[in-house]
Amino acid sequence: MARDMYRVRLFIENMGLGMTPKAAARHAGYTNPSRESKSMLADKDILTAIQVIQTENQKNSKLTRENVMENLIEAFDIAKTQGDPQAMVRSMAEVNRMNGFYAPEKKIIELTGPEQERQQQIESLSKEELLELLNREEETPLLEAHVDEEGEYVVEQDAA
């Protein structure tokens, strides 16, 4: 089914203005904006057109990451002189977000001893053996999980 190019152009322009995909599709006149926006965002040509407009808008606004940071720090300083702790916290929270300080932490878990041996045993199994292991019915599971007194999850390997 061919797309209505007028509506597609409106969608692209709306996205370039910073609208959410659903809002851009609704403003372009689509009756099912959620479905249509997902469909259009899957189209590489449409994504490229949106990126071109967004890049153009960014160049025209002369707004850079550094400018935004400077403005937020200036807002912090103004809030500090006015004695407005809420505004200070909000501006610093935004600076921290832009610097990626709120990104999820990456945890690396290293197995040692029996856990490492068990991992190596599992990795050495064929697909058929793995499926058999997963599908077999046992009265006791290979791993047992419970919550301890401190509210932490504890996973214990069955000694079998």
pLDDT in tens, 35-46: 999 999 999 999
- Crossing angle (nearest 10°) for helices 44-61 and 33-41: 90
Looking at residue 114, what is its pLDDT? 86
Q: For residue 91, what pLDDT band results from cuts at 50, 70 and 90?
A: very high
Of 111 and 82, more confident? 82
Average pLDDT, the chain: 82
With 80 as the cut, is the pLDDT of residue 130 above it? no
pTM of the model: 0.41
Of 139 and 35, more confident? 35
**10: nearest Cα among 1, 26, 63:** 26
Looking at residue 135, what is its pLDDT? 64
The domains of the chain are located at 5-61, 65-98
